[in-house]
């Protein structure tokens, strides 16, 4: 019999792990206090019916054979969309936004290209320094924090934030004239900078756009609550 995660938050006989949940229903794997927040935000924006499987990155539940069959990297997030197993948060969001075309997928090929550009940019230029600031200002236990690494992360964010601010000065959005997957992907990564109290005062367009994006009801619903 297929077993659930040994050290996870799910019971061993959990139907989701046994593939006996609602057939074909989208499954989203990963606790909100992780990169899975990005995907949970997206599915909420799209109003999708989904099952949330709260696999955790720190308790071994992402390393079980069952979960490795979904994401062989043993990382969260991942989805199972009626048999399509997909991982990498940006790829998942781009796929879902395009598949369900509810206004979050750009309308022209040029704007699509912008959405890809900004998603790749966020993950390569922004994620690492934002994570350093987050880890060393609030996530790690206090005795493991290194303020120098946090400040270095904030410093490394200055150039990308300048680029983003200039782009947002034009239309207020990153791909076309409305909120799309590009804004969601970049804002969800920059949420770490906000949590880490990175000073955004020199980037007024970023500040305004980030507050509006993270305050969207779907984003707030997806955001980690205490102990999630």
Ligand X SMILES: N[C@@H](CCC(=O)N[C@@H](CS)C(=O)NCC(=O)O)C(=O)O
Question: Least distance from C-beta 177 to ligand X, angstroms?
Answer: 27
Among 38, 114, 107, CA closest to 77: 38
Count of positions on this chain that bind ligand X (CB under 6 A): 10
**Residue nearest ligand X (C-beta atom):** 75
Question: Which range of residues in 6-14, 21-29, 68-76, 145-153 is near ligand X by CB under 6 A?
Answer: 68-76
Interactions with ligand X, residue window 13-42 (CB under 6 A): 34-35
| Tokens of residue 88, six digits | 């990498």
Using CB under 6 A, pick the residue from 88, 151, 152, 165 that binds ligand X: 88
Question: Least distance from C-beta 88 to ligand X, angstroms?
Answer: 5
Question: Which range of residues in 69-77, 166-174, 176-184, 204-212 is near ligand X by CB under 6 A?
Answer: 69-77
101 backbone dihedrals φ, ψ, rounded to 5°: 15, 70
- 130 contacts ligand X (rule: CB under 6 A): no
| Identity of the residue, 121 or 203, whose beta carbon is nearer to ligand X in the bound complex | 121
- 59 contacts ligand X (rule: CB under 6 A): no
Tell me the CA distances in angstroms from 194 to 63, 88, 162, 191, 200, one per residue in order. 30, 22, 16, 5, 8
For CA atoms 45, 25, 11, 91, give the dihedral sign: negative
- 194 contacts ligand X (rule: CB under 6 A): no
190 backbone dihedrals φ, ψ, rounded to 5°: -70, -10
| Tokens of residue 182, six digits | 């590009």
- 76 contacts ligand X (rule: CB under 6 A): yes
Question: Least distance from C-beta 67 to ligand X, angstroms?
Answer: 10
Quote the CA–CA distance of 178 and 152 in Å, as a whole number.
33
Q: Give 11-14's long-range contacts (Cβ < 8 A, gap of 24+).
A: none
- 153 contacts ligand X (rule: CB under 6 A): no
Question: Least distance from C-beta 62 to ligand X, angstroms?
Answer: 5
Residue the block writes with tokens 């367009």: 205
- For ligand X, the binding residues (CB under 6 A) are 34-35, 57, 62, 74-77, 88-89
């Amino acid at each position: 019999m297929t077993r659930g995660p040994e050290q996870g938050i799910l019971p061993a006989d959990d139907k989701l792990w046994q593939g006996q949940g609602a057939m074909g229903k989208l499954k989203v794997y990963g606790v909100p206090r992780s990169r899975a927040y990005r995907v949970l935000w997206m599915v909420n924006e799209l109003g999708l019916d989904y099952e949330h499987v709260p696999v955790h990155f720190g308790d071994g539940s992402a390393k079980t054979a069952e979960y490795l069959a979904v994401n062989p990297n043993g990382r969260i997030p991942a989805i199972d969309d009626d048999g399509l197993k997909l991982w990498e948060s940006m790829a998942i969001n781009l796929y879902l936004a395009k598949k369900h075309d509810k206004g979050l997928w750009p309308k022209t090929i040029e704007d699509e290209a912008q959405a890809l550009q900004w998603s790749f940019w966020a993950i390569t230029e922004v994620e690492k320094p934002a994570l350093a600031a987050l880890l060393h200002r609030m996530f790690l236990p206090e005795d493991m924090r290194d303020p120098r690494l946090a400040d270095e992360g904030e410093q490394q964010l200055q150039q990308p934030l300048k680029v983003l601010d200039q782009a947002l000065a034009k239309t207020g959005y990153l791909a076309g004239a409305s909120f799309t997957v590009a804004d969601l992907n970049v804002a969800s990564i920059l949420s770490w900078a906000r949590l880490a109290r990175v000073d955004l005062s020199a980037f007024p367009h970023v500040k305004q756009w980030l507050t509006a994006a993270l305050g969207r009801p779907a984003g707030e619903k997806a955001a980690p609550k205490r102990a999630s």
